[in-house]
Structure 1
Amino acid sequence: MLRLEHISKIYPNNHVLKDVNWEVKPGDRIGLVGVNGAGKSTQLKIITGETQPTTGEVVRPNNFRIAYLTQEFEVNPKRTVREEFWTVFGEANQAQQDLAQLQQEMETAEPEELDRLIKKLDRLQRQFESLDGYALEAQIEKIMPEMGFSLEDGDRLVSSFSGGWQMRMSLGKILLQSPDLLLLDEPTNHIDLETIEWLETYLKGLKTPMVIVSHDREFLDRLCTQMVETERGVSTTYLGNYSAYVQQKAEAQEAQLATYERQQKELEKQQAFIERFRASATRSTQAKSREKQLNKMEWAEAPTANLKKPRFHFPPSPRSGREVVNIQDLVHSYDDKLLFLGANLFIERGDRVAFLGSNGAGKSTLLRLMMGMEKPDEGTIKLGSHNVIPSYFEQNQAEALDRHKTVIETIHDEVPDWKNQEVRTLLGQFLFSGDTVFKQVVDLSGGEKARLALAKMLLRPTNLLLLDEPTNHLDIPAKEMLEEALQEYEGTVAIASHDRYLISKVANKIVEVREGELITYQGDYHYYLGKLEEEKEKKRQEEEAAKKAAKKKKKAAGKKGKSLRS
């Protein structure tokens, strides 16, 4: 269907892609992975033609339709949902708008004007029909419920829907174009878990092949049939989902390392022989022969696993008392929306709590309340009385950095008593080395800002971490660094996140924010999912029992009425 052949892309200061080769076949769901800056989004732009490669070509059939769902959903908040879907069909959309306007004019037109408007109406209706307008209208009415919208929702303004629902609008719009290939760039950014799971299920049901750029490992695991990694400008294809890719890559690196080490030993042995007998009267010919053989050999490269991987360990923290957070009878509103109504929660030392819930449920507000940045309307939120030292990472922490400071100044200002080398050592753990420590924050990428914000927060010893979406903008290696550090952390963690992979690795307790309550599940993420299934099954059985009871009652009433008549 579509093939990238020997693609390279060179920018003035950056050789992003060197040799990229992969293809999309019918039914493929391909995940593109690599560190921030590896060129994943660049490859999508090359596929669409938005960016031209420096060398190489994209081979595809004529009239091949590509739809691209970008990180920023392109919707107009002032339109209704139905109007937003209509924008896909440019000429037909204009015709139906003209028809609607004309019908309004006809309602108030004078009799002498009406005849002219009727003729205009006839002309517009024929134009609308010639553009298959009624068939397009039927397509819109069909796609809306598929995206989860009722027909009544069609008349609501786009602005009245959350980011997750606006993503559904954007997806519906590109599917109305009947694409041959779907490109998705970070589709799970800024949407809640419920919407992510809906998106997974919906995309799995599509026959359209797709290419996905995402740092959401669980999303890639559940959806992808093939992975393409871009590393140091070169692509490698792996069959299977994200977990299969991780395993295959580890096995390939082990095999490559074994070959590399074996060849290095042989190289040392042969070089020692050559050096020893190069000047020998009797064995110099043999030495020269071996040297020629060495020059002709193909040598394995050192495995890319030797590339720097970020690593961090939290500084040792003082031990707190058993009680870390105690929430009792919490009532709180935000922007006139009631978030909590009599909520209760107890967090003790060593808990790693993940707060789950839909966008707007109150997870971020709860962390701010725990930090003391907001005061509850009613009820109490108290930190433990014995030695609880909190630290807070807010969702937009990276954007709150001073844009005009350098990387090294940002850290030095937090720990002025540290020596330069100590600061540089810490920054090196977050992949800031060499001259990059002198870059201004304003010049950093989103991922670099996120890493710097994490480094800044983790400087001082604390025993309670309050983390609000800490993996936003982090690439996969940086996420793994954070996971490993949190797993080793001896303090208490409260984290709000949509990153299911992170939650499953770190959390030992799940708290769902649901309808004003804090519902605690005393187990990890998989335990929580199991309990949700049990709750759904129980609800299904109760509904089934209620239906049977109603049917039985109706039948009994019918018999009673019949006996009375007789």
Structure 2
Amino acid sequence: MSLINVTNLTFAYDGSYDNLFENVSFQIDTDWKLGFTGRNGRGKTTFLNLLLGKYEYRGNISANVSFEYFPFYVDNKENNTLDVISDIFPDFLHWKLMRELSLLEVSEDILYRPFDSLSHGEQTKVLLATLFLKENCFLLIDEPTNHLDMNARKLVSDYLKTKNGFILVSHDRAFLDNCIDHILSINKTNIDIQKGDFSSWWENKKRQDNFELAENEKLKKDIGRLSDSAKRTSNWSHEVEKTKYGTRNSGSKLDKGYVGHKAAKMMKSSKSIENRKQSAIDEKTKLLKNIEDCDSLKISPLTYHKNLLAELENVSIFLDEKIVCKDVGFTIERGNRIALKGKNGSGKSTIIKLICDENINYAGTFRKGSQLKISHVSQDTSHLQGNLTDYATNNEIDESLFKSTLRKLGFSRVQFEKDMSTFSGGQKKKVLIAKSLCEQAHLFIWDEPLNYIDVISRIQIEELLLEYQPTILFVEHDNTFNRNIATKFINI
């Protein structure tokens, strides 16, 4: 066991006026299974790169271990998988590799296939196996679940549960709960470490947030009451003070000393109340700094004139004469929230493309209602570039509503001035989701909408779908999301 000490870490990107981290200090035990969470754009990947020494920073990071980052960059994907592993780690022991691949249920024959012929899930497993061949390293695992189906996620989570000495960036709640023992969270104003899994951290956060909100409300009332009281007492003091001059009590001579003493006593009381008010204000300013802005999202679903929106009957889909999937049959009816399930490569995204009128080669019967309006969120975000204003204009959506939705999803105003090509993976996905939420549609079709999306935004999206109950067909590998949202499951 050894410690990674982070002391007074301060970092900002070149050209930025705002520090991403400012005087941050904490310790990490290298034996921990550490989950890493925080809203998109808060700097999770940046922090991993700081550990790797990729950027200059102020402060100090000291460690007696070296760091390895996942996913590895693969230069020559056309090479055999075994050669790719050798390029990453030339001194690996073959028996150790086979042990790790066996734990991940990867067959030996893929070692002798070109790396680019492997599915995304197989590539992820191979690179994870390679990562854990390295000894005396603290491992930085950055979002390994994005290309894994639900079965593969469970397998990889069980695999990581047997390991230790890593930071794991993931937004999949069930995945984290299964394999970590500590949580590192990047909040609005600090970085916090707690023992436990994601669920225990989330419950603690909700309790703390609720306490601060209640305390804030109590202090607001106290400040208002004290302000009124201080004002009244001050006014009384001035009124009494004025009676020292030109005033008589029942014709007798006025005791100016007594009146002055009474006025001073009231003024002292007023000052005491003012000090209590300032103390309450100071306490109030310490609260709510890390409460996330989770304003409710809105959506504008249209009601279709018929109950049946679309139907597939004995549909088989072909890609270059190869069958992608066959004999698929299901209906989409008004109010359905349908989760399409299946292994990677089973044809889920291709079925979505067919329903969205893309040119797909298929056999069987596919019917779709006339004048059916569909809002589609695709997996791919690579086309996003340019500014948000032009994007809203080109897609004929209300710019104010679009940017307001992005603000609710955690975007800062400074982000609105940037080119979308510079956004993080999660921020790009939020652009697509915000666009869809601004569109009026009978049917919403979302293909892996939560890839890279932070947990808080996932919960916001869940609450939205449960409140408005739009008709939606979606592919998503977050098991918690599926369980909370789907009214119907279709297995491909």
| TM tier, smaller | 0.7 to 0.9
Give the Cα–Cα distance (whole angstroms) in 1 for the partners of residues 411 and 26 of structure 2.
Answer: 32
Deviations 1:229-269 (A, max 9, x none): 21124012233222211111111112222333333433444
Q: Which residue of 1 aligns with 2:42?
A: 38
Q: Which residue of 2 aligns with 1:49?
A: 53
Give the Cα–Cα distance (whole angstroms) in 2 for the partners of residues 192 and 242 of structure 1.
Answer: 21
Check whether the contact 2:161–2:180 (CA below 8 A) recurs between aligned residues. no
Give the Cα–Cα distance (whole angstroms) in 1 for the partners of residues 473 and 335 of structure 2.
Answer: 10
The TM-score, its normalising length taken from structure 2, stands at 0.83
CA shift, 1:468, in A, is 1.0
Give the Cα–Cα distance (whole angstroms) in 1 for the partners of residues 137 and 410 of structure 2.
Answer: 40
Q: Which residue of 2 aligns with 1:503?
A: 482
State the Cα RMSD in Å: 3.0
Residue 125 of structure 2 is aligned to residue 168 of structure 1: yes
Q: Which residue of 1 aligns with 2:388?
A: 407
**Residue 283 of structure 2 aligns to a residue in which SS?**
coil
CA shift, 1:334, in A, is 1.5
Check whether the contact 2:309–2:368 (CA below 8 A) recurs between aligned residues. yes
Moved more, 420-429 or 364-373: 420-429
Q: Which residue of 1 aligns with 2:149?
A: 192
Question: Aligned ranges for residues 467-486 of structure 1 at < 5 Å?
Answer: 467-486=446-465
Give the Cα–Cα distance (whole angstroms) in 2 for the partners of residues 172 and 152 of structure 1.
Answer: 15
Q: Which residue of 2 aligns with 1:281?
A: 264
Deviations 1:483-510 (A, max 9, x none): 2222233442111122223212211111
Q: Which residue of 2 aligns with 1:255?
A: 211
CA 1:51–1:426 in 2, change beyond 3 Å: closer, same or farther? closer
Identity %: 23
Check whether the contact 1:352–1:494 (CA below 8 A) recurs between aligned residues. yes
CA 1:46–1:422 in 2, change beyond 3 Å: closer, same or farther? closer
Q: Which residue of 1 aligns with 2:103?
A: 146
Moved more, 368-377 or 72-81: 72-81
Check whether the contact 2:222–2:277 (CA below 8 A) recurs between aligned residues. no
CA shift, 1:305, in A, is 6.4
Give the Cα–Cα distance (whole angstroms) in 2 for the partners of residues 357 and 480 of structure 1.
Answer: 23
Check whether the contact 1:407–1:436 (CA below 8 A) recurs between aligned residues. no
CA 1:9–1:262 in 2, change beyond 3 Å: closer, same or farther? same
**Residue 188 of structure 1 aligns to a residue in which SS?**
coil
Q: Which residue of 1 aligns with 2:344?
A: 359
Give the Cα–Cα distance (whole angstroms) in 2 for the partners of residues 138 and 258 of structure 1.
Answer: 58
Give the Cα–Cα distance (whole angstroms) in 2 for the partners of residues 6 and 437 of structure 1.
Answer: 30
Check whether the contact 2:157–2:176 (CA below 8 A) recurs between aligned residues. no
Deviations 1:396-431 (A, max 9, x none): 1x4334x33x31232234447x6x756665565555
Residue 288 of structure 2 is aligned to residue 303 of structure 1: yes
**Residue 350 of structure 1 aligns to a residue in which SS?**
coil
Moved more, 32-41 or 44-53: 44-53
Q: Which residue of 2 aligns with 1:84?
A: 84
Supply the AA of the counterpart residue of 2:393: H
Q: Which residue of 1 aligns with 2:472?
A: 493
Check whether the contact 2:448–2:477 (CA below 8 A) recurs between aligned residues. yes
CA 1:354–1:54 in 2, change beyond 3 Å: closer, same or farther? same
Moved more, 13-22 or 297-306: 297-306
Point out the structure with the larger helix share.
1
2:306 aligned to which of 321, 330, 335: 321
Question: Aligned ranges for residues 148-547 of structure 1 at < 5 Å?
Answer: 148-206=105-163, 208-278=164-234, 280-289=263-272, 291=274, 299-300=283-284, 301-304=286-289, 307-309=292-294, 311-384=296-369, 388-396=372-380, 398-401=381-384, 403-404=385-386, 406-415=387-396, 425=404, 428-430=407-409, 436-437=415-416, 439-513=418-492
CA 1:432–1:39 in 2, change beyond 3 Å: closer, same or farther? closer
CA shift, 1:32, in A, is 1.4
Give the Cα–Cα distance (whole angstroms) in 2 for the partners of residues 435 and 88 of structure 1.
Answer: 38
Supply the AA of the counterpart residue of 1:324: L
Give the Cα–Cα distance (whole angstroms) in 2 for the partners of residues 422 and 331 of structure 1.
Answer: 40
Check whether the contact 1:354–1:495 (CA below 8 A) recurs between aligned residues. yes
Aligned length: 459
CA 1:291–1:162 in 2, change beyond 3 Å: closer, same or farther? same
Give the Cα–Cα distance (whole angstroms) in 1 for the partners of residues 458 and 208 of structure 2.
Answer: 23
The TM-score, its normalising length taken from structure 1, stands at 0.73
For structure 1, the 5+ residue unaligned runs are: 94-135, 514-566
Q: Which residue of 1 aligns with 2:243?
A: none
Check whether the contact 2:11–2:58 (CA below 8 A) recurs between aligned residues. yes
CA 1:443–1:248 in 2, change beyond 3 Å: closer, same or farther? same
